Chain A
Amino acid sequence: MTDRISRRVFLRRAAASGSILTVPGLLAACGGGGGGGGGGGGTTEAHKLAKTLHFSNWTLYIDVKNHGHPSLDQFQKKYGVHVDYREDINDNASFFSKIEPDLARGQSTGRDIIVMTDNSRYPALLVKKGWVEKLDKSAIPNIKNLVPQQRNPSWDPGREHSLPWQSGFTGIGWNEKLTNPVTSMGDLLGNKKLKGKVGLLTEFSDTLALVMAYNGDDPSKITDKTFNKAISVIQRSVNAGQVRQFYGNDYASALSNGDLVATMAWSGDIVQLQADNSHLKWQLPNDGGDIWTDNMLIPKGGDVYTASVYMNFVYDPKIAAEIEDYVNYVCPVLGAKEALVKQDPAIAKNPLIFPTKQELDNAHTIDPTALNNEKYQTTWQNLISA
Chain B
Amino acid sequence: MGFGFLHRHRNTTPYLLLAPGLLFLGVFFLVPLGYLAYQALQSGNIDFGYQFTWAWSNFSDAVRGYGGQFERSFAYAGIATALALLVSYPVAYWIAFRGGRWKNLLLLCIVAPFFVTYLIRTLAWETILADHGLVVRTLTDIHILSPGGRLLATGTAVVAGITYNFLPFMALPLYVSLEQIDPTLIEAAEDLYASKWRAFFRVTFPLSLPGVVGGTLLTFIPAAGDFINAQLLGSPTNHMIGNVINSKYNELIDYPAAAAMSFILMAIIVALVLMYARAVGSEKLTG
Q: Which residues from chain A sit less than 8 Å from chain B, CB to CB?
A: 93-94, 96-98, 100, 125, 128, 196-197, 202, 238-239, 241, 243-246, 257-259, 372, 374, 377-378, 381-386
Whether B236 lies near A97 (C-beta < 8 A) is no
B253 / chain A contacts, CB cutoff of 8 Å: 96-97, 100
Whether B132 lies near A258 (C-beta < 8 A) is yes
B185 CB to nearest A CB, Å: 51
B251 / chain A contacts, CB cutoff of 8 Å: 93-94, 97, 202, 381, 385
5 CB-based A-B contacts, threshold 8 Å: A98-B250, A100-B253, A258-B132, A384-B236, A385-B239
B46 CB to nearest A CB, Å: 7
Is B125 part of the contact surface with A, judged by Cβ < 8 Å?
no
Top 7 closest pairs, chain A to chain B, by CB: A385-B247, A97-B250, A93-B251, A244-B153, A381-B252, A258-B132, A385-B243
For chain B residues 39-58, which have a beta carbon within 8 Å of chain A?
45-47
Is B249 part of the contact surface with A, judged by Cβ < 8 Å?
yes
Quick one: which of B131, B236, B252 contacts A259, CB cutoff 8 A?
B131
B248 / chain A contacts, CB cutoff of 8 Å: 381
Instruction: Indicate whether A381 sits within 8 Å of B235 (C-beta atoms), given known contacts A125-B46, A258-B132.
Output: no
Is B237 part of the contact surface with A, judged by Cβ < 8 Å?
yes
Whether A245 lies near B236 (C-beta < 8 A) is yes
A191 CB to nearest B CB, Å: 14
Quick one: which of A96, A128, A202, A245 contacts B235, CB cutoff 8 A?
A245
For chain B residues 238-273, which have a beta carbon within 8 Å of chain A?
239, 243-244, 246-254
Specify the chain B residue showing the minimal Cβ separation from A259.
Answer: B131
Task: Give Cα distance in the complex from A174 to B250, angstroms.
Answer: 30
Task: Give Cα distance in the complex from A319 to B235, angstroms.
Answer: 41
Quick one: which of B65, B236, B250, B254 contacts A94, CB cutoff 8 A?
B250
Instruction: Indicate whether A386 sits within 8 Å of B152 (C-beta atoms), given known contacts A97-B250, A97-B251.
Output: no
A382 / chain B contacts, CB cutoff of 8 Å: 65, 244
A44 CB to nearest B CB, Å: 36
B262 CB to nearest A CB, Å: 15
Task: Give Cα distance in the complex from A81 to B179, angstroms.
Answer: 60
Task: Give Cα distance in the complex from A193 to B239, angstroms.
Answer: 24
Task: Give Cα distance in the complex from A345 to B248, angstroms.
Answer: 48
Most buried by B among A98, A100, A244: A244
B247 / chain A contacts, CB cutoff of 8 Å: 381, 384-386
Specify the chain A residue showing the minimal Cβ separation from B131.
Answer: A259
Whether A374 lies near B45 (C-beta < 8 A) is yes
Task: Give Cα distance in the complex from A222 to B236, angstroms.
Answer: 25
Task: Give Cα distance in the complex from A377 to B247, angstroms.
Answer: 11
Task: Give Cα distance in the complex from A385 to B253, angstroms.
Answer: 14
- List 11 extra interface pairs beyond A385-B239, A385-B243, CB under 8 A: A97-B249, A97-B253, A125-B46, A239-B237, A241-B237, A258-B131, A259-B132, A372-B47, A374-B45, A383-B236, A386-B66
A244 / chain B contacts, CB cutoff of 8 Å: 153, 235
Instruction: Indicate whether A386 sits within 8 Å of B252 (C-beta atoms), given known contacts A241-B235, A245-B235.
Output: no
B277 / chain A contacts, CB cutoff of 8 Å: none
Whether A386 lies near B69 (C-beta < 8 A) is yes
A386 / chain B contacts, CB cutoff of 8 Å: 66, 68-69, 236, 239, 243-244, 247
Whether B130 lies near A257 (C-beta < 8 A) is yes
Most buried by A among B131, B152, B244: B131
A170 CB to nearest B CB, Å: 19
A96 / chain B contacts, CB cutoff of 8 Å: 253
Task: Give Cα distance in the complex from A378 to B61, angstroms.
Answer: 12
Task: Give Cα distance in the complex from A258 to B152, angstroms.
Answer: 12
A238 / chain B contacts, CB cutoff of 8 Å: 236-237
Task: Give Cα distance in the complex from A241 to B253, angstroms.
Answer: 28
B45 / chain A contacts, CB cutoff of 8 Å: 374
Task: Give Cα distance in the complex from A197 to B247, angstroms.
Answer: 23
A94 / chain B contacts, CB cutoff of 8 Å: 250-251
B69 CB to nearest A CB, Å: 6
B208 CB to nearest A CB, Å: 39
Task: Give Cα distance in the complex from A54 to B48, angstroms.
Answer: 30
Whether A378 lies near B252 (C-beta < 8 A) is yes
Specify the chain A residue showing the minimal Cβ separation from B254.
Answer: A378
Specify the chain A residue showing the minimal Cβ separation from B245.
Answer: A385
Task: Give Cα distance in the complex from A221 to B102, angstroms.
Answer: 70
Task: Give Cα distance in the complex from A238 to B236, angstroms.
Answer: 7
Whether A196 lies near B153 (C-beta < 8 A) is yes
Task: Give Cα distance in the complex from A194 to B254, angstroms.
Answer: 35
B121-159 vs A, Cβ < 8 Å mask (1 yes, 0 no): 000000000111000000000000000001011000000
Whether B237 lies near A259 (C-beta < 8 A) is no
A381 / chain B contacts, CB cutoff of 8 Å: 247-248, 251-252
B47 / chain A contacts, CB cutoff of 8 Å: 125, 128, 372
Whether A243 lies near B152 (C-beta < 8 A) is no
A378 / chain B contacts, CB cutoff of 8 Å: 252, 254
Specify the chain B residue showing the minimal Cβ separation from A234.
Answer: B236
B252 / chain A contacts, CB cutoff of 8 Å: 93, 377-378, 381
Whether A259 lies near B246 (C-beta < 8 A) is no
Task: Give Cα distance in the complex from A271 to B50, angstroms.
Answer: 44
Whether A259 lies near B130 (C-beta < 8 A) is yes
Specify the chain A residue showing the minimal Cβ separation from B130.
Answer: A259
